[in-house]
Amino acid sequence: MNCLCCGKPLKTDEPSGWHKACVKRFFGTSVIPELEIDNSALEHLAIETAGKGLTIPGVQKKLSLHLMSEGRKPRLTLVNYPTGFILKPQVEDFRALPEAEHLVMSMADAAGISTVPHALVMGGGNLAYITRRIDRVFGKDNVEMLAMEDFCQLDLRLTQDKYRGSYERCAKVIERYSSRSGLDLSELFYRLIFCFITGNSDMHLKNFSLIETAERSGKYVLSPAYDLLPVNVIMPEDVEQTALALNGKKQNIRRRDFLVFAEGCGITRQSAEKMMRKLLSIKPKFLAMCGESLLPEDMKLRFAELIEERCNVLEQGNPCLLYTSPSPRD
């Protein structure tokens, strides 16, 4: 069995499914906090807290949790003030959403993309996805609150307009507000290629944010990645490959579209192709992670096929990018 946090094998039988070191790093406790919420309670809480502002905006059910570490056993509880954790339980409409999100976030880690802390926990007898908020830094006696603004806010758009716009417009937001625009534009380009490879067609304006480098610093950078899901695997009927327009389109995306975008961001052709080659070289790792994941077998197969297809698209048109990757069975 592998750790539900880092994904590495557990050397001993851990009832929590976590390495002790992972528990300490993620929660700051010696044992994993209790989360005693069954499915009926989750349904009730999701409905009840929606009217109290305890849910996080978005399509998935997301509950804000606070770590209560007083006493012998730490607990994660719902509260109505700034919290440190977000829980995403299973949903009836789509299978294995927590497992899928944790997998793609782990793939992003493998690709060298900065991500928010993420893991899986047992809740109500099922796996749930948990992440630690990065705009709240909890000290012993205080809470440091970092300003974090998504691109919907920064581009002065309403939430319902989060799918209107383009990634070129996202680049303009970075150019205007980021204190390290050159690095963040390269990071945006790299993430867009990664999302294409992993079938994430839901990277809308609210799934990109700038965050303060320190409280009241006035300096902002592209935040670590969050809400990464293989939407084209979960919803194969979704024919769009991107949430926003890339080079004027959302379907039939080709390698050239990424290169045109890179040029508009001031990224040299050499640098753009180098980043593309790096992600393509990680394809065997992505396939292996997919095969070892907790996804249902049919979803593993669909995801692996999609990764192969998307990598083939990016390899076409440039002999320097063509290569044959080993099978994950080799």
Give the residue-averaged pLDDT of 59-66.
75
State whether 73 and 30 are in the same domain.
yes
State whether 229 and 88 are in the same domain.
no
Q: Is residue 9 part of a domain?
A: no
pLDDT in the model for residue 284: 98
State whether 282 and 159 are in the same domain.
yes
Q: Is residue 10 part of a domain?
A: no
State whether 71 and 167 are in the same domain.
no
pLDDT in the model for residue 47: 59
SS3 at position 316: coil
State whether 192 and 118 are in the same domain.
no
DSSP secondary structure letter of residue 10: P
Boundary-marking domain end, from 85, 100, 132:
132
Which structural domain, as residue segments, surrounds residue 248?
Answer: 146-321
**Residues 262, 266, 272, 275, Cα dihedral to 10°:** -100
Boundary-marking domain end, from 88, 109, 132:
132
Q: Is residue 328 part of a domain?
A: no
**pLDDT per residue as tens digits for the range 265-300:** 999 999 999 999 999 999 999 999 999 999 999 999
**pLDDT per residue as tens digits for the range 88-143:** 988 888 899 999 999 999 999 999 999 999 999 987 778 999 999 999 887 777 77
pTM, entire model: 0.90
Q: Is the pLDDT of residue 55 over 50?
A: no
State whether 227 and 165 are in the same domain.
yes
pLDDT in the model for residue 73: 83
pLDDT in the model for residue 301: 97
**pLDDT per residue as tens digits for the range 299-308:** 999 999 999 9
State whether 76 and 160 are in the same domain.
no
Map 188-245 to HEC letters: HHHHHHHHHHCCCCCCCHHHCEEEECCCCCCCEEECCECCCCCHHHHCCCCCCCCCCE
Taking CA 190 as the corner, what is the angle to CA 185 and CA 192, rounded to the nearest 5 degrees? 95
Q: Are 87 and 62 in contact (CB under 8 A)?
A: yes
State whether 270 and 178 are in the same domain.
yes
Greater confidence (30 vs 168) lies with 168
Rounded distance between C-alpha atoms, residue 304 and residue 107, angstroms: 13
Q: Is residue 4 part of a domain?
A: no
Q: Is residue 1 part of a domain?
A: no
State whether 127 and 153 are in the same domain.
no
Boundary-marking domain end, from 84, 101, 132:
132
Rounded distance between C-alpha atoms, residue 168 and residue 171, angstroms: 5
Q: Write down how long the chain is.
A: 330
State whether 120 and 181 are in the same domain.
no
pLDDT in the model for residue 279: 98
**pLDDT per residue as tens digits for the range 177-188:** 999 999 999 999
State whether 162 and 232 are in the same domain.
yes
pLDDT in the model for residue 123: 75
HSE, side-chain direction, 13 A CA sphere, residue 218:
0
Q: Is the pLDDT of residue 258 over 70?
A: yes
Least confident among 63-67, 69-73, 113-117, 150-154: 69-73
pLDDT in the model for residue 323: 37
Least confident among 13-17, 28-32, 59-63, 207-211: 59-63
Number of domains in the chain: 2
Q: What is the CATH number of the domain that holds 281?
A: 1.10.1070.20
Q: Is the pLDDT of residue 158 over 70?
A: yes
Q: Is residue 11 part of a domain?
A: no
pLDDT in the model for residue 328: 35
State whether 174 and 116 are in the same domain.
no
Q: Is residue 326 part of a domain?
A: no
Q: Is the pLDDT of residue 29 over 50?
A: yes
Q: Is residue 14 part of a domain?
A: no
Q: Are 230 and 195 in contact (CB under 8 A)?
A: no
pLDDT in the model for residue 80: 60
